[in-house]
Structure 1
Amino acid sequence: MSADHDAEMPDFPPEQLPSEQVASVQREVQRKLGRIMIRLQQYERLIKAVAASVEIAGPVDELVEIQRKRGEVISKMTLGGLVTEITGGYLKPAQPAAAAAEPEWEPGDTRRIWLRMNASMSMQPADYDRVVAGLKELVAMRNELVHHFLERFDLWSVAGCQNADLYLDAGMAKVDNRYAELRHWALTMAKAQRTMAAFMETPEYKELLFGGTAPDGTAD
């Protein structure tokens, strides 16, 4: 057995070496499996960036360190954990205005200046359910690819490789759709952050912060 052949199929028993036809379709399956795994890793990197930016709270002089520590926690999460984090906080089903009001929040130490920021995206309940179902399907597919792909498909036959090929094509389309969706969320969040940062530079914001007068003229 050549070194190249051994590297491609390390689990192959010597008495079951593939024919050239099988080896050809195997290589295509390997290529597509590698492509979808790379795409899934890109998805994980982006969802970690979104999850790390959803909320921050604490004394203003500690915010940089708080954000760093949150990033470390998020970086160690599995894809399933990240999806739970996003669907349990950032994504929310739309509610009536009265029910959607933000709960009262008090800083942990009133002798220090605290800041709290959180971002969320509200969806119609049907859209929220559809998105959550799609994200759970993505997690299940990722786990299937990592842990059970060789159990599910007989890669030592042409028919098995063809079935795997079709599965990977369908899976890639799903990952691409989820990635485009996530990228839209990330761009929307970044735009909202830029808009908020620009508002915080205006006299209206400073009057709201220090004088208690809102841009519409109401006073706290």
Structure 2
Amino acid sequence: MNSSALQKHQREVQRLLGRCMLRLQQYETMIKVLLVNHEITAEIDKLTQAQAQRAEEFATNTLGVLVKKLRGSFLVTGETHSPLPERENADPHVPSLSYKIALQMSAADHAQVAGELDALVSSRNQLVHHFIDQFNLGSIDDCAAAQTHLSEYFARVDGHCNRLQHWATEVNNAMRSMLDAMQTPAFLDLLIDGIEPDGTIHWVMAGIVCALREAATELAIDGWTRLDDAVGFVAERYPAHTPGKYGCRTWKQVLHDSRLFELRYRANGGDSRSAWFKERGG
């Protein structure tokens, strides 16, 4: 046997094997990035922390686990698509953001892609754990067969990487469209003022309610706040938040329609009375 020729073949096997392993690691990294970014639920000021926690969660996952999560979360059919879960113990007064970008496909396409992903995981495990059992690297013929196998395998993994890169591009495009939509006046009305385009008011997140809460925090006496004082407070700090903006004629109507506050009247002396309020449950 020509030892020089054998060593040359063995080095080529090692090169091709290393190339496959590097491409597989790139694929795993791409899946992790996609899983981190396609879905999030967190308070606005903790988004970066939440993304870091998700990245840490996926950091040590095997390819098999990552593929399973990809199939269950990002790749969905009409039957498997589900809404985002509610945040546990969420404070309704703290603004939060939830979004999920998924690739919806037919049941047949989903089954085909799932099968291809499962085959990738199986072949990866075969490559990592049983490659030298499959090929006798002391034989030039087996080395040549191994080179052919590794070249074909690299092409398959590369195809998976290219498809995953396409999916990642689609996620980025969807996120860009979402961010563009978030700059529109209609979205800002909803986010800042709690007003939908059809005029529906989400009182819990309404700007005028937030302003009244802030006024109550600073002006309350024994838990109750004089409405006239709160109105003056809001007018000075948040002049844009007026009852008319929320379809109300008076501040008392705001308190009533929001259903978030209790309203009482207290005598001032003589026949006059003042309106006082506090948040329900407070």
Alignment TM class, shorter chain as reference: 0.7 to 0.9
Distance 1:101 1:43, change over 3 A: closer
**Cα gap change, 1:104/1:162 in structure 2, threshold over 3 Å: closer, same or farther?**
closer
Amino acid at match of 2:167: W
1:203 counterpart (172, 177, 185): 185
Q: Structure 1 residues 31, 51: closer, same or farther in 2, change over 3 A?
A: same
Structure with max Cα Rg:
2
- The alignment of Structure 1 onto Structure 2 pairs a total of residues equal to 199
Of stretches 60-69 and 47-56 in structure 1, the one that deviates more from structure 2 is 60-69
Amino-acid identity (%): 36
Deviation at 1:46, TM superposition (A): 1.0
Check if 1:102 corresponds to 2:86.
no
Is the CA contact (8 Å cut-off) linking 1:94 and 1:123 kept in structure 2? Answer: yes
- The corresponding residue for 2:163 is 181
**Residue deviations 1:94-136, cap 9 Å, x none?**
34xxx85737846622232222111111011111111111111
Match of 1:120 among 78, 97, 102: 102
Match of 1:37 among 18, 21, 25: 21
**Of the candidates 100, 108, 111, which is equivalent to residue 129 of structure 1?**
111
Counterparts of 1:55-74 in structure 2, within 5 Å, are 55-74=39-58
Q: Say which structure, 1 or 2, has more relative contact order (CA 8 Å, 6+ apart).
A: 1
Sort the Cα spacing of 1:213 and 1:111 in 2 relative to 1 into closer, same or farther, 3 A: closer
Match for residue 120 of structure 2?
138
Structure 2, unaligned runs of 5 or more: 202-282
Amino acid at match of 1:48: K
Name whichever structure is richer in strand by fraction.
Answer: 2
Q: Which position in structure 1 is the counterpart of 2:173?
A: 191
Q: Which amino acid aligns with 1:91?
A: L
Is there any run of 5+ residues in structure 1 with no aligned partner, and where?
1-16
Match of 1:160 among 142, 149, 163: 142
Distance 1:199 1:182, change over 3 A: same
RMSD in angstroms over aligned alpha carbons? 2.1
Report the secondary structure of 2:180's partner residue: helix
Does the 8 A contact of 1:22 with 1:158 survive in 2?
Answer: yes
Q: 1:47 aligns with which of 31, 37, 40?
A: 31
Q: Which range moved further: 19-28 or 73-82?
A: 19-28
TM (norm. structure 2) is 0.65
Contact 1:18 1:156 in 2 (8 A): no
Residue type of the partner of 1:172?
Answer: F
Does the CA-based 8 Å contact 2:41-2:96 persist in structure 1?
yes
Amino acid at match of 1:193: M
Equivalent position amino acid for 1:46 in 2:
M
Amino acid at match of 1:173: A
